[in-house]
């Protein structure tokens, strides 16, 4: 069902208020060929109404001939900002960038954030944005959940399907996504509601079974036959199974990069307004699958780069894989049991309100 402009303007106003947008601040709306016109139109109205100085920056697409998919997360090579000093300067001069085109995993994005500019990514359809408008409760929930992962040593994940993997941690920080950017130099994604870290380089060992009904992204489909990944020294060394495994093997091999098989980020979803089933209700090109990444109690892991958290892997391949029905143990404490978050461990008092 469509969402009215007035509802979207209210949603943007809530997000921008949580992001501490002040009158007179400079907002640049970054757009591309895939930018949703209603997202752009209502973002501009909301920011202007709040007194911001608003500009649009359009950048033409790149890498279309290299990617196997139209999904913006399917190929993470050079971005439209690569070599574009004028555009980078404009974004660095902004207090807030609303990214309506997708700049993930790019050195240009890191450079812009280092200048103190805040970046908020929002590329899902208006209907999804309106359903999962960030709240201060999301902030507290993600902060409390992340506290269960911070300063821990080992994540152990099991499932009835056969997953049994140990993921040593500590080399990389915990990244929190709750949907708004209240601090200088912060990046976030609306919608979200999850957190993750990256396992220590070359140390993950075990087996991951992607079971029937689990999701592959950017493929954006539900697996119909189990896929077994053998993980040795931080890399998926074997991808076994029937047709779904064959499709995943060929897709990953198409990047011709050994780092495409590395275990990337690991964490779990906490968003109660995101749903596992939603992907079945949208055309593949209409969404990037944030419901799948964020739904409450999933175990979300990925294959590919780790430069988002300061690592050295910059492979162009990035595959997100949310699993259901997993049990997640962190340093001997079960935090998710059979795909259900243990709410009694979620101490919301440890997180400080955003002011």
The DSSP secondary-structure symbol of 101 reads: S
Q: How far is CA 318 from CA 44, 71, 284, in A?
A: 31, 11, 17
pLDDT at 67 over 70: yes
**In terms of pLDDT, which residue wins out, 349 or 85?**
85
- pLDDT value, residue 348: 66
Residues 6+ apart with CB under 8 A from 64: none
| Residue 54, strand partner residues | 27
Give the alpha-carbon dihedral of 58, 34, 274, 5, to 10 degrees.
Answer: 70
| CA gap 219, 284 in Å, rounded | 8
**Average pLDDT of the chain to the nearest whole number:** 94
Q: Hey, what are 123's tokens?
A: 């590329």
The string of pLDDT tens digits covering residues 250-289 is 999 999 999 999 999 999 999 999 999 999 999 988 999 9
The string of pLDDT tens digits covering residues 138-157 is 999 999 999 999 999 999 99
Ordered DSSP codes for 228-258: EEEEETTEEEEEEESHHHHHHHHHHHTT--G
- pLDDT value, residue 354: 52
Which has the closest alpha carbon to 272: 247, 250, 297? 297
Q: Of 45-54, 58-67, 194-203, 328-337, which gets the smallest average pLDDT?
A: 58-67
Average confidence (pLDDT) over 25-41: 97
Average confidence (pLDDT) over 208-220: 97
The DSSP secondary-structure symbol of 50 reads: T
- pLDDT value, residue 351: 47
Angle between helices 5-18 and 37-49 (to 10 degrees): 60
- pLDDT value, residue 178: 98
Give the global pTM.
0.94
Average confidence (pLDDT) over 3-9: 98
Average confidence (pLDDT) over 219-246: 98
Cβ pair 83, 61 in contact under 8 A = no
Average confidence (pLDDT) over 197-222: 97
Q: Of 86-95, 134-143, 169-178, 305-314, which gets the smallest average pLDDT?
A: 305-314
Domains of the chain in start order, with CATH, are: 5-131 (3.40.50.2300), 136-350 (no CATH)
Average confidence (pLDDT) over 91-100: 98
| CA gap 92, 86 in Å, rounded | 10
Per cent of the chain over pLDDT 90 is 85
Average confidence (pLDDT) over 161-188: 97
Per cent of the chain over pLDDT 70 is 98
Residue 103's pLDDT band, with cuts at 50, 70 and 90, is confident
| CA gap 90, 154 in Å, rounded | 42
Residues 6+ apart with CB under 8 A from 79: 62, 103, 106, 108, 109
Burial (CB count within 10 angstroms: exposed 0-12, middle 13-18, buried 19+), residue 264: buried
């Amino acid at each position: 069902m469509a969402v009215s402009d007035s509802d979207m303007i209210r949603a943007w106003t809530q997000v921008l208020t949580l992001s501490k947008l002040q009158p007179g601040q400079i907002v640049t709306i970054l757009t591309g060929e895939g930018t949703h016109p209603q997202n752009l139109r209502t973002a501009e109205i909301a920011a202007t109404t709040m007194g911001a100085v608003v500009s649009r920056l359009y950048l033409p697409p790149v890498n279309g001939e290299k990617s196997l998919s139209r999904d913006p997360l399917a190929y993470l090579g050079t971005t439209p900002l690569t070599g574009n000093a004028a555009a980078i300067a404009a974004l660095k001069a902004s207090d807030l960038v609303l990214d309506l085109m997708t700049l993930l995993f790019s050195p240009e994005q890191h450079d812009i954030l280092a200048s103190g500019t805040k970046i908020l990514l929002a590329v899902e359809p208006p209907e999804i944005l309106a359903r999962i408008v960030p709240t201060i409760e999301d902030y507290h929930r993600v902060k409390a959940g992340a506290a269960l992962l911070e300063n821990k040593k080992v994540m152990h994940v099991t499932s009835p399907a056969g997953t049994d993997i140990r993921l040593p941690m500590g080399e990389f920080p915990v990244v929190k996504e709750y949907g708004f950017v209240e601090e200088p130099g912060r990046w976030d994604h609306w919608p979200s509601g999850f957190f993750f870290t990256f396992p220590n380089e070359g140390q993950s060992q075990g087996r991951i079974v992607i079971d029937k009904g689990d999701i592959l992204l950017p493929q954006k489909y539900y697996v119909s036959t189990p896929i077994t990944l053998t993980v040795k020294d931080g890399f998926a060394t074997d991808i076994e199974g029937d047709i779904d495994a064959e499709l995943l093997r060929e897709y990953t091999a198409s990047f011709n990069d050994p780092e495409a098989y590395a275990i990337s980020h690991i964490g779990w979803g906490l968003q109660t307004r995101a749903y596992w089933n939603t992907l079945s209700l949208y055309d593949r090109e209409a969404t990037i699958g944030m419901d799948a990444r964020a739904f409450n109690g999933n175990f979300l892991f990925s294959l590919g780069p780790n430069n988002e958290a300061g690592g050295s892997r910059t492979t162009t391949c990035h595959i997100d894989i949310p699993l259901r029905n997993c049990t997640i143990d962190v340093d001997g404490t079960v935090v998710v049991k059979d795909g259900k978050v243990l709410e009694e461990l979620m101490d919301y008092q440890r997180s400080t309100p955003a002011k």
